[in-house]
Protein backbone atom coordinates (compact mmCIF):
# COMPACT_ATOMS: atom_id res chain seq x y z
CA UNK A 1 0.00 0.00 0.00
CA UNK A 2 1.05 3.56 -0.69
CA UNK A 3 2.10 5.34 2.40
CA UNK A 4 2.02 9.11 2.87
CA UNK A 5 3.77 10.24 6.02
CA UNK A 6 3.42 13.66 7.59
CA UNK A 7 6.25 14.33 9.98
CA UNK A 8 4.23 15.88 12.81
CA UNK A 9 0.75 15.13 14.15
CA UNK A 10 0.60 18.26 16.30
CA UNK A 11 2.55 21.49 16.12
CA UNK A 12 2.33 24.67 18.17
CA UNK A 13 4.13 27.70 16.76
CA UNK A 14 4.32 31.37 17.59
CA UNK A 15 3.09 34.19 15.38
CA UNK A 16 5.79 35.29 12.96
CA UNK A 17 7.74 32.03 13.04
CA UNK A 18 8.74 30.27 9.82
CA UNK A 19 7.07 26.85 9.82
CA UNK A 20 7.89 23.78 7.75
CA UNK A 21 5.42 20.95 7.28
CA UNK A 22 6.93 17.86 5.72
CA UNK A 23 5.29 15.12 3.68
CA UNK A 24 6.91 11.98 2.29
CA UNK A 25 5.40 9.30 0.03
CA UNK A 26 6.94 5.95 -0.75
CA UNK A 27 5.39 5.00 -4.12
CA UNK A 28 7.12 7.20 -6.66
CA UNK A 29 4.01 9.31 -7.26
CA UNK A 30 4.57 12.35 -9.42
CA UNK A 31 1.65 14.37 -8.01
CA UNK A 32 1.59 15.68 -4.45
CA UNK A 33 -0.84 18.08 -2.79
CA UNK A 34 -1.31 20.20 0.30
CA UNK A 35 -4.82 20.91 1.59
CA UNK A 36 -6.04 22.65 4.69
CA UNK A 37 -9.25 21.67 6.43
CA UNK A 38 -11.33 24.01 8.56
CA UNK A 39 -14.76 23.56 10.13
CA UNK A 40 -17.46 24.87 7.84
CA UNK A 41 -15.03 25.43 4.97
CA UNK A 42 -14.10 21.86 4.12
CA UNK A 43 -10.88 20.93 2.36
CA UNK A 44 -9.21 23.65 0.35
CA UNK A 45 -6.23 23.20 -1.96
CA UNK A 46 -3.16 25.28 -1.08
CA UNK A 47 -0.53 24.08 -3.57
CA UNK A 48 0.30 21.04 -5.61
CA UNK A 49 3.33 19.68 -7.43
CA UNK A 50 3.35 17.49 -10.53
CA UNK A 51 7.09 16.83 -10.67
CA UNK A 52 10.34 17.68 -8.94
CA UNK A 53 10.75 21.46 -8.70
CA UNK A 54 7.35 21.96 -10.40
CA UNK A 55 4.49 23.54 -8.50
CA UNK A 56 1.17 25.23 -9.05
CA UNK A 57 -0.96 27.41 -6.83
CA UNK A 58 -4.23 26.06 -5.58
CA UNK A 59 -7.23 27.99 -4.36
CA UNK A 60 -5.68 29.57 -1.25
CA UNK A 61 -1.89 29.97 -1.74
CA UNK A 62 -1.52 33.31 0.06
CA UNK A 63 0.88 33.11 2.99
CA UNK A 64 2.29 29.75 1.90
CA UNK A 65 5.07 28.45 -0.29
CA UNK A 66 6.19 24.93 -1.18
CA UNK A 67 9.34 23.03 -2.04
CA UNK A 68 9.83 19.81 -3.94
CA UNK A 69 13.51 19.01 -4.31
CA UNK A 70 13.05 15.23 -4.37
CA UNK A 71 10.19 13.26 -5.86
CA UNK A 72 9.17 11.65 -2.58
CA UNK A 73 9.11 14.80 -0.45
CA UNK A 74 6.82 17.83 -0.60
CA UNK A 75 7.20 20.58 1.97
CA UNK A 76 4.73 23.31 2.88
CA UNK A 77 6.26 26.49 4.24
CA UNK A 78 4.53 29.19 6.23
CA UNK A 79 6.87 32.13 5.77
CA UNK A 80 5.54 34.07 8.76
CA UNK A 81 2.91 32.14 10.66
CA UNK A 82 -0.28 33.92 11.62
CA UNK A 83 -3.15 32.88 13.85
CA UNK A 84 -5.49 32.50 10.86
CA UNK A 85 -3.24 29.68 9.66
CA UNK A 86 -4.27 27.55 12.63
CA UNK A 87 -5.76 24.54 10.89
CA UNK A 88 -5.50 20.86 10.00
CA UNK A 89 -3.08 20.37 7.12
CA UNK A 90 -3.39 17.30 4.91
CA UNK A 91 -0.90 16.02 2.36
CA UNK A 92 -1.88 13.67 -0.48
CA UNK A 93 -0.28 11.95 -3.45
CA UNK A 94 -1.41 10.21 -6.62
CA UNK A 95 -0.18 8.98 -9.98
CA UNK A 96 -1.84 8.92 -13.39
CA UNK A 97 -5.36 9.96 -14.28
CA UNK A 98 -7.19 6.85 -13.16
CA UNK A 99 -5.68 6.34 -9.74
CA UNK A 100 -7.05 7.35 -6.40
CA UNK A 101 -5.48 9.69 -3.91
CA UNK A 102 -3.73 8.63 -0.72
CA UNK A 103 -3.72 11.02 2.21
CA UNK A 104 -1.43 11.35 5.19
CA UNK A 105 -2.67 11.38 8.76
CA UNK A 106 -2.66 15.17 8.96
CA UNK A 107 -0.85 17.82 10.97
CA UNK A 108 -2.84 19.90 13.42
CA UNK A 109 -1.09 23.27 13.51
CA UNK A 110 -1.86 25.83 16.18
CA UNK A 111 -0.37 29.32 15.85
CA UNK A 112 -0.40 31.32 19.09
Partner 1 sequence: KQEVTQIPAALSVPEGENLVLNCSFTDSAIYNLQWFRQDPGKGLTSLLLIQSSQREQTSGRLNASLDKSSGRSTLYIAASQPGDSATYLCAVRNTGRRALTFGSGTRLQVQP
SS3 59: coil
Among 70, 4, 78, 2, CA closest to 36: 78
Count, residues near partner 1 per rule CB under 8 A = 24
Sequence-distant (6+) residues with CB within 8 A of 1 are: 102
Please choose, out of 11-19, 37-45, 60-68, 79-87, the segment that lies near partner 1 by the rule CB under 8 A.
37-45
Among 19, 25, 29, 31, interactor with partner 1 by CB under 8 A: 31
Burial (0-12, 13-18, 19+ Cβ within 10 Å), 72 = middle
Among 19, 66, 90, 109, interactor with partner 1 by CB under 8 A: 90
> Which chain residues interact with partner 1 by CB under 8 A?
6, 31, 33, 42-43, 45, 48, 50, 56, 58, 88, 90, 92, 97-106, 108
Amino acid sequence: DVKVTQSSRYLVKRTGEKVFLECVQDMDHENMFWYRQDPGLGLRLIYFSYDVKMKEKGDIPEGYSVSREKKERFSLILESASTNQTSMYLCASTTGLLYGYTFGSGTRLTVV
